[in-house]
Structure 1
Amino acid sequence: MAEKIRSIAIEDKMKDSYLSYSLSVIASRALPDVRDGLKPVHRRILYAARELGLTHDKPHKKSARIVGEVLGKYHPHGDASVYDAMVRMAQYFNQRYCLIDGHGNFGSIDGDSPAAMRYTEARLTELAEDIMADITQDTVDFVDNFDGSLQEPEILPTKVPNLLINGASGIAVGMSTSIPPHNLGEVVDAMVHLLKHPNAKLETIMKYIPGPDFPTGAKIVGLSGIKKAYKTGNGKITLRARTQIEKKGRKKQIIIKEIPYHLNKVKLLEDIAELINKGKIDNVSDLRDESDQEGLRIVVELKSGADPDIILNQLYKFTSLQTNYRINMLALDGKQPRVMDLITILKNFINFRRQVITRRTKYKLNKAKERFHLLQGLITAIDKLDLVISIIRHSKSTKEARQKLQEKLVITEKQAEAILRMRLQKLVGMEEEKLHQESAGLEEQIKYYKKILNNKNELDKVLKKELLDIKNKYADKRKTEIIEDEEKAIIEKTDLIKKEKVFLTFSYRQNIKRTTSSEYARAGKNDYIIDTMTGTTLDTLLFFTNTGDVYTLPVHKIPEHHGLSTGDNIKDFLKIPLSKKIVKVICLNEETKEKYITIATKQGMVKKTIGGEYQTTYSRIKAIKLNKGDEVVGVEITDGNQEILLGTKKAKTIRFEEDSVSDTGRNTIGSIGIKLAKGDEVVSFNLVNNNTSVVSISKTGRGKRSPIEEYNPQNRNGKGLKTCGSSIYKMAGVICANPDDYILITTGNEKLYTVKVNDLTETSRTGNMYEVVSLKNDDKITGVEKLPFAPEEDNN
């Protein structure tokens, strides 16, 4: 033959080849058929096992024998793929209703591989036999196998809605399917309802099928994902392990009894152990796998006093004990891949069963007609027995006898053939009666078959009865519980933390301490507590710096300390540059969120913002917009009805109502609190809360206290009043206080002094100042703060 070479663009050739490959994978390998719910490999395994006679009541045969039958006759692919598919149909944790009865090691929920096919044995389950019921009665079409030497069923005439009850998963080219398993009884009830009400709405169908039912049980949290999947064919559901909390002596333990579908138990245990070792899940003393033949049982033993609900939420949050399952109900419908909603899948099966029942009824009708036809001939022959005997006796050949019988008895060729083959025992009276009875029975059957074929209601009665028979035979209780509350699927940060009331302290040396009571408040040597707060472990601490930044720290991240412990340095938790100074620490709790956080700056600006604005997931946010050269000097919690007192370096003070300052957002400048003279700056920000005195401390260590009544309220944005008679003193701090209060005085040389307010000389507002601390070597006072309670040495 002459060689013919045809030019073709490589992109066209690649496109055609890839398209052919894609169609082959989609239609012949990866996707199930909507009618019997099987992929070709599963269909061929079941059919081959049937052909080998491996019914549920027969002995098992080697798996290798079944795999060889499938490979040699129907499925020319790898033996591993066939065996893997067969194994999966035998695994109780993968199939809601197993189709293969496996004998031997068929793998485990731990992820163990099955034994080699030469070691295991298998046979069909009774359910699988019902999937192939009536296959010999012309219920489905048969097609040639891969080499044309045999025929195989194009589809199986299943009585069982296998696609829904066992689900399916597979990856084709450019598409994938993930159909969850369901409860057989629920699916049958839904179909029975659809038979009676073909226009039923999804809400009604979901009363029968509330959601998937997985072989491993567990729980589905929320209904919205189920509804969306059933309505559109696509959706996502949240699966959660089934657990219970048990007491063991003084301790408690979490028992995991069921895990989400497709979850590897060993991998789960490894993940939990790793999280415990890393400290992400705390208060766990032991982790054991106590699973046995009775069922799955994982024990998470807790330390004494641990909250099991918190640890359970941590397990849900950080491990696969709670996981998402993607639903994509894609299946072949007439060899075309389609994403179908629940009702479409149900109706497809109903229509397929109608076709099967119709074809089976036609087959039985034809067989009944054929038999009835022959019986009529036999009865005619017995009625004219002498004539029949005479014809047969005087005929020279079978052919001649057949022709004469047709002519004399007016019967067909088939009837004549049946008469010639009739045994003499049929001439017995009893046998003759049986022929009449059989004939009458066949006549009734023919009428019944015709009734089914001519009346859709009769056909649906048969369909309904067969569905209910399947339900009565195989249905079981639902395994997967459905929790309607959608919010339970969401594990919030607060669900992972045990809520406890706490007392917090912050010291001059920047040590933070969390305790359960103020009696444990301690500062280290040469250190003093300058801020105290109360809140809960669910709250957040706000660290305000002089640069207007706020650093956040969840309270639960601070270790709990008791007794003489001084706590932990803030550097262990926050990376605050050395150039920034922490001005104030505030606990952002439910009460603080409803109040204002008010800030004063060195340049005399005052701004307030509702506390809730500081609720954030960021570790650093901006609290105030500062002008060039400005700094934050004070931060306080206010309620909108308080009085503010600002003190300046040049001994000026101003007292005004808080409500004269409008509240604004976080990153804003605010309002002018005091008009400053050139070179002056605000050094102190106070709230006038039932204080009796104003304490003024100069940079040179002189000080006094004056009655607060002498600091008359003024309008905001004024120049203020003097706080001492001499203009030579520069103020380090101007503090509102009571006689029993203590103030902390700090110097540039890191000297710390505590002074009781009552020990200071009391003068008028413009009176003289007297020595409070003696400074050496040109040291200067750099800060003055009121202490929340008396220093420890003064308590002794």
Structure 2
Amino acid sequence: MAKQQDQVDKIRENLDNSTVKSISLANELERSFMEYAMSVIVARALPDARDGLKPVHRRVLYGAYIGGMHHDRPFKKSARIVGDVMSKFHPHGDMAIYDTMSRMAQDFSLRYLLIDGHGNFGSIDGDRPAAQRYTEARLSKLAAELLKDIDKDTVDFIANYDGEEKEPTVLPAAFPNLLANGSSGIAVGMSTSIPSHNLSELIAGLIMLIDNPQCTFQELLTVIKGPDFPTGANIIYTKGIESYFETGKGNVVIRSKVEIEQLQTRSALVVTEIPYMVNKTTLIEKIVELVKAEEISGIDDIRDESSREGIRLVIEVKRDTVPEVLLNQLFKSTRLQVRFPVNMLALVKGAPVLLNMKQALEVYLDHQIDVLVRKTKFVLNKQQERYHILSGLLIAALNIDEVVAIIKKSANNQEAINTLNTKFKLDEIQAKAVLDMRLRSLSVLEVNKLQTEQKELKDSIEFCKKVLADQKLQLKIIKEELQKINDQFGDERRSEILYDISEEIDDESLIKVENVVITMSTNGYLKRIGVDAYNLQHRGGVGVKGLTTYVDDSISQLLVCSTHSDLLFFTDKGKVYRIRAHQIPYGFRTNKGIPAVNLIKIEKDERICSLLSVNNYDDGYFFFCTKNGIVKRTSLNEFINILSNGKRAISFDDNDTLYSVIKTHGNDEIFIGSTNGFVVRFHENQLRVLSRTARGVFGISLNKGEFVNGLSTSSNGSLLLSVGQNGIGKLTSIDKYRLTKRNAKGVKTLRVTDRTGPVVTTTTVFGNEDLLMISSAGKIVRTSLQELSEQGKNTSGVKLIRLKDNERLERVTIFKEELEDKEMQLEDVGSKQITQ
């Protein structure tokens, strides 16, 4: 240690005191770090707000430009561009330059490509570009607009790193590249993250700003809808978009575009567009990881079917899984949905500035005005120089004999120049032009051309002077140029903006509101099917398979509702359970469905007797009827908080069971049918409203051995439909049935014969509905009641469905044909439950 100190002392003694200075280490660190920080900020990480480019991007584009790699020229090896840029402007690693150039050629990285690449320039899966010696590139047609008029003194140039070349400090940028392609970068103590936007919308915003400099960010939002990413996907409109338009900071929620496809035996989630900057391979690996960790269930298989046509990621869903719910889980747990942070930081006059949308557009407009003014001055100077020369040439042409004589007599060029100056007042530049003039220019035709050119130049000079003196004219020219860019390069949005959708993910946020058929078998198997799965057939049609059941199982319930409806399950024990309709997995006509016990906590000895859908609990009643004729009316709002584990809905005697439940509106007439073919009609207001757990009163008088076999209301129609077990039915006006008090025996509704079989249902209809009939074999026939003529109450009816031997009609349900119209609201017709 002492030896080292001695060496230091000797070195210090030999040094000149003028070259050694004592400074503060803290001050030196501060100064050096600030120099480093500013170098990173200005020369590496942040884009210039005028052209949207960082130095390396600008150097690549300019290097390709001066190298002749234009869009209308043949492709050149990427290595040549990289080499030229590295040797002339960017003395750093060749891979940094090549990666920069490659990114400008990737359609999944840039919204508007600046490099036209030929070969493998990488993929959205994270694959790297091929080596630069294999790929070829040139400037894109749009990139030429960034460099347009760069040779007309439109921008400043500085010396390159070795002083042998000149490079531009900014490009003319005939389109707003900063906002069109966006930018991202991490500097020292700051970062930038600017999303890409649609070029047509940006130009519309610039024109709005030109026409109305006082426009607000809300007005800009009417034409610039929001970001438009290279990979498309959906953008959920949130306050974050408004925030970055107003302040320059915010966030954008990007959600993958996913379609639900029905395969042969199951559903599949098909991802066709993913968020910007999401690696598809990494996304798949994450999903597989979540499945293995059992954090996500319901996925049967996942495969990547992507091709040159686009992304196609197929996620097969297990049969007992609701695809919409699974999709929401994937949105929550994977990068199928991401949040893009926006921090619009860019260089303005060499300093980092946080820009809002209007400020970013204003900076670009100011740059375009500056470019136009500089270009106009350049053109004006060139034209004035040419006009000056033409004036001299025309003077010489009009005095050609004297000019020729002067030239012949002159000893040398300088003497000729001096003589021309003295004789015709031509300055040295004009005189030299006269001496250089060819004899053929003295012809009458050529002189006329010179005069025409002089006149055109005069007009052009006057126009240039007007442009320089009139800012409104400057803005008009810029508008016209922007419109030309839009006409040539404008396109449709890739990213669709979703309004009125919450960014918060819940189980219903992506479930489409649509009409569905809910079916349930006798053994409690549930299934959700699209209404259009059944074909409308004429009366007497054979039908299609509606539901495949297990052995000794048959159809029990069927109703039409919305996917966002509540489903209430009423059991014969008097309990009620509730789930949402979309919780029942989507199936096909031939599927067996899912057991109800998988969705509701029903007891082993309970049987579901009624399945109803509810959209609004604020108005209406549930009307209960037991097998022995006990009835009760309860407000719907007492059933709001019913859960899947169930609650008591009605109380009754031990020897009784709940037959059915229907919805009423407070002024309905009730129709109750019995197994012997009678029906009683009374007003529901004869019953006072009871609590959810109350017992009820008698609604129909039954003989020993008779039971209730039909429950409906006048709200469901002015006709009474009676259907026998052998598929015979009829329509009769409800006016044929007298209004009585409750607990009456009623009136005969169908003449029962061997042809009709026992009455299986009596229900009210309007006569314009569709009738869905379910046989014991699980077949469903759908026909219009308009094909059924009205008959008297003592007739036996006509055939509605052809049944095979040992096949009987078990269940009937009614729904309106207009329910298929997606714009129509569902009417809760409930389930028409039939007992044999």
TM-score w.r.t. the length of structure 2 is: 0.61
Match of 1:219 in 2: 234
Query: Is 1:245 aligned to residue 260 of structure 2?
Result: yes
- Is the Cα contact below 8 Å between 1:232 and 1:341 reproduced in 2? yes
Match of 2:111 among 96, 100, 123: 96
Match of 2:468 in 1: 453
How far apart are 1:65 and its partner, in Å?
1.3
- Is the Cα contact below 8 Å between 2:575 and 2:647 reproduced in 1? no
Residues 730-784 of structure 1: per-residue CA shift (max 9 Å, x gap): xxxxxxxxxxxxxxxxxxxxxxxxxxxxxxxxxxxxxxxxxxxxxxxxxxxxxxx
CA distance in structure 1 between the aligned counterparts of 2:173 and 2:423, rounded to whole angstroms: 48
Match of 2:505 among 477, 491, 506: 491
Residues 276-320 of structure 1: per-residue CA shift (max 9 Å, x gap): 333333332221211111111111122335322112212211111
- Is the Cα contact below 8 Å between 1:251 and 1:302 reproduced in 2? yes
Residue 189 of structure 2 aligns with an amino acid whose one-letter code is G
CA spacing shift, 1:60–1:405, aligned 2, 3 Å: same
The share of aligned pairs that are identical, in percent, is 43
CA spacing shift, 1:563–1:199, aligned 2, 3 Å: closer
CA distance in structure 2 between the aligned counterparts of 1:79 and 1:565, rounded to whole angstroms: 74
CA distance in structure 2 between the aligned counterparts of 1:688 and 1:64, rounded to whole angstroms: 83
Match of 2:55 in 1: 40
- Segments of structure 2 that go 5 or more residues without pairing to the other structure are 1-14, 528-552, 554-572, 582-594, 606-615, 618-637, 650-691, 697-836
CA distance in structure 1 between the aligned counterparts of 2:251 and 2:454, rounded to whole angstroms: 59
CA distance in structure 2 between the aligned counterparts of 1:536 and 1:561, rounded to whole angstroms: 8
CA distance in structure 2 between the aligned counterparts of 1:58 and 1:45, rounded to whole angstroms: 17
Match of 1:412 in 2: 427
Match of 1:257 in 2: 272
CA distance in structure 1 between the aligned counterparts of 2:136 and 2:39, rounded to whole angstroms: 31
Q: How does 1:565-604 map to 2 (within 5 A)?
A: none
Match of 1:439 among 442, 451, 454: 454
CA distance in structure 1 between the aligned counterparts of 2:416 and 2:50, rounded to whole angstroms: 51
SS of match in other structure, 2:193? strand
- Is the Cα contact below 8 Å between 1:143 and 1:152 reproduced in 2? yes
Match of 1:288 in 2: 303
- Is the Cα contact below 8 Å between 2:577 and 2:647 reproduced in 1? no
- Is the Cα contact below 8 Å between 1:314 and 1:496 reproduced in 2? no
Query: Is 1:114 aligned to residue 129 of structure 2?
Result: yes
Residue 506 of structure 2 aligns with an amino acid whose one-letter code is E
Residue 385 of structure 2 aligns with an amino acid whose one-letter code is E
Match of 1:160 among 164, 169, 175: 175
Match of 1:475 among 487, 490, 496: 490
- Is the Cα contact below 8 Å between 1:310 and 1:495 reproduced in 2? no
How far apart are 1:690 and its partner, in Å?
8.0
CA distance in structure 2 between the aligned counterparts of 1:538 and 1:12, rounded to whole angstroms: 68
CA distance in structure 1 between the aligned counterparts of 2:426 and 2:49, rounded to whole angstroms: 48
- Segments of structure 1 that go 5 or more residues without pairing to the other structure are 504-513, 521-530, 540-555, 567-589, 592-610, 616-635, 640-686, 692-796
CA distance in structure 2 between the aligned counterparts of 1:188 and 1:427, rounded to whole angstroms: 50
SS of match in other structure, 1:155? coil
Match of 2:629 in 1: none
How far apart are 1:90 and its partner, in Å?
0.6
Match of 1:301 in 2: 316
CA spacing shift, 1:516–1:437, aligned 2, 3 Å: closer
Match of 2:193 among 178, 187, 192: 178
Residue 118 of structure 1 aligns with an amino acid whose one-letter code is R
- Is the Cα contact below 8 Å between 2:578 and 2:600 reproduced in 1? no
Query: Is 1:209 aligned to residue 224 of structure 2?
Result: yes
Query: Is 1:397 aligned to residue 412 of structure 2?
Result: yes
Which segments of structure 1 move beyond 4 Å, counting only runs of 4 or more? 493-501, 514-517, 531-534, 536-539, 558-566, 636-639, 687-691
- Is the Cα contact below 8 Å between 2:579 and 2:600 reproduced in 1? no
- Is the Cα contact below 8 Å between 2:201 and 2:223 reproduced in 1? yes
Match of 1:669 in 2: none
CA spacing shift, 1:441–1:515, aligned 2, 3 Å: closer
CA spacing shift, 1:115–1:403, aligned 2, 3 Å: same
Q: How does 1:737-776 map to 2 (within 5 A)?
A: none
CA spacing shift, 1:119–1:405, aligned 2, 3 Å: same
Q: How does 1:781-796 map to 2 (within 5 A)?
A: none
TM-score w.r.t. the length of structure 1 is: 0.64
Q: How does 1:360-759 map to 2 (within 5 A)?
A: 360-487=375-502, 489-492=503-506, 535-536=577-578
- Is the Cα contact below 8 Å between 2:324 and 2:507 reproduced in 1? no
Larger radius of gyration: 1
How far apart are 1:497 and its partner, in Å?
11
Residue 134 of structure 1 aligns with an amino acid whose one-letter code is D
CA distance in structure 2 between the aligned counterparts of 1:450 and 1:43, rounded to whole angstroms: 32
CA distance in structure 2 between the aligned counterparts of 1:405 and 1:74, rounded to whole angstroms: 48
Match of 1:79 among 94, 119, 131: 94
CA distance in structure 1 between the aligned counterparts of 2:507 and 2:294, rounded to whole angstroms: 16
CA spacing shift, 1:208–1:690, aligned 2, 3 Å: closer
CA distance in structure 1 between the aligned counterparts of 2:334 and 2:473, rounded to whole angstroms: 53
Query: Is 1:324 aligned to residue 324 of structure 2?
Result: no
Residue 504 of structure 2 aligns with an amino acid whose one-letter code is I
CA distance in structure 2 between the aligned counterparts of 1:688 and 1:307, rounded to whole angstroms: 33
SS of match in other structure, 2:105? coil
CA distance in structure 1 between the aligned counterparts of 2:219 and 2:439, rounded to whole angstroms: 63
SS of match in other structure, 1:208? coil
Q: How does 1:1-150 map to 2 (within 5 A)?
A: 2-3=16-17, 4-150=19-165
- Is the Cα contact below 8 Å between 1:500 and 1:537 reproduced in 2? no
CA spacing shift, 1:538–1:280, aligned 2, 3 Å: farther
How far apart are 1:97 and its partner, in Å?
0.3
Residue 142 of structure 1 aligns with an amino acid whose one-letter code is F
